[in-house]
Amino acid sequence: MFKRQPTQIIAHRGSKGTRPENTLLAFQAALDAGADGIETDVQFSKDQQLVIMHDERVDRTTNGTGLVQDQTLAELKRLDAGSHFGSEFAGTKIPTLDEVIQLLIRDEFTGVFNLELKTNKIHYDGIEQALADYFTRQPVPFRLVFSSFRAQSIITLRSLYPQAEYAKLFKTAGRQARRMQRQHLVGGLHPDIRWVKAHRFWLPHVQLRPWTVNSPADMAYCLRHHFAGLITDYPARAVALRTKIQGGNEA
C-alpha cells in the first residue's frame, strides 16, 4: 500500500517561540525538539559577511540600532541578540551563516536547511555569488533549500548553484509562484498559511510548505492535508501533534 511521507516540521528562525530567534540557541532547541528542518534568513554585513538576521534593521531583536548593511561583522557581534527575549538569554550573539552550518554538521543533521535570501527590500549586490561560493567550498550532509520573496535572487542563485533546491516565498502573489513552478525555476512553494486557507481548492502536487503555522488548528490543517512541510515557531508542539494526526508511518 502507498505510504505517504510525514509532513516535515520546519523550525521558523529556529525554535522562535521559545528562544531568541535566529540564534544558535534557537537552532539547537529546534534540533532537540526533533524538527525535520531549520528555516533561517541571510543578509550581508557592511563588510559583506553572511550573517543570520531576519529584519533589515537590528533594532527589534538586539540592543543595537540601524541597518545590518551599515555595520561590520565585528560591530554586529558586539550586539546582544538575546535580552529582548528574556534576561536569561543576555549576551547571545548574532550568528554567521558558517556558525549555523557548523552547528548542524556537528549535530549530524540530515534534514532540510531552508535559507531565505532577504533581498526583497534591500538587494545585497553579490550575495547570490557569495552563497554559491560558500556552499561550493563547504559541502553539507543535509537538503539545502534556498527561498526568497525576490524572484530574481532565486533565478540568479539557481544559475550559479543548480544542485540545491529552490522555493518561492509569497503572501499573495500565487500566480507568479505557480508560473515559476511550471517553468521549473522552483520545486517548492512557501505561501502564507492565510493564503493557503483562502485558496483551499488550489492545493498543487508540489512541495507546499506554508508559513507561519503556529496555532494548533493551522498545524492540524497542514497535517491532515499532508503538505510536504509546515514552517512553525513551535517545532516541539508541531512534532507532538504530527504524531497524533499522522502517526508514526501512516499508510
Mean pLDDT computed over 19-40 = 98
pLDDT in tens, 167-183: 999 999 899 999 999 99
Mean pLDDT, residues 139-151 taken together = 98
Mean pLDDT of 9-33: 98
Q: Tell me the per-residue pLDDT of 92-131, one tens digit each, with 9 for 90 and over.
A: 999 999 999 999 999 999 999 999 999 999 999 999 999 9
The residues annotated with a catalytic role in the active site are: 12, 54
Phi-psi region of 177 (alpha: psi -120 to 50; beta: other; left: phi over 0): alpha
Identify the pLDDT of residue 170: 96
Contact 49, 8 (CB under 8 A): no
pLDDT at 1: 41
What is the pLDDT at residue 200? 77
Domain 18-208 has CATH 3.20.20.190: yes
Strand-pairing partners, residue 143, are: 112
Average pLDDT taken over every residue of the chain: 95
What is the percent of the chain where pLDDT is above 90?
Answer: 91
- Enter the C-alpha cell of residue 248: 508514526
pLDDT at 231 over 90: yes
Cα(95)–Cα(139) distance, integer angstroms: 19
Ranges of each domain in the chain = 18-208
Distances from the Cα of 88 to the Cα of 84, 85, 94, angstroms = 10, 9, 16
- Using DSSP, state whether 174 is helix, strand or coil: helix
